[in-house]
Amino acid sequence: MALKYIVATSLGREEIYLFDSSILHIHFATSMRIPRERIVSAGFVSGSGGDGPVCHGESTSLGVVSRREVDDGLLREKLGQSLAG
């Protein structure tokens, strides 16, 4: 399954949200009630190469870009929590 993501600040920290690639970034943010001013990056998740999935690209509907390595770290943290929990 192809995924998109949004990173937004919440209570002083950044959280990554993953969702199906068929949904526009702006529609997901609206449905989750994430205010535009809290969104710091967005893009796509792809591959599971040697280092696992990576974040890349941009959201044209939100007008923000991926921060690649920073977002990769948040993604790894989220996936680690999902696998552990």
Among 81, 25, 85, 31, residue whose Cα is nearest residue 57: 25
What's the pLDDT score for residue 52? 80
Domain range list for the chain: 3-84
Residues of the chain with pLDDT under 50: 83, 85
List residues bridging with 10 in a β-sheet: 13
Dist CA 6 CA 26 (whole Å): 9
Dist CA 80 CA 20 (whole Å): 19
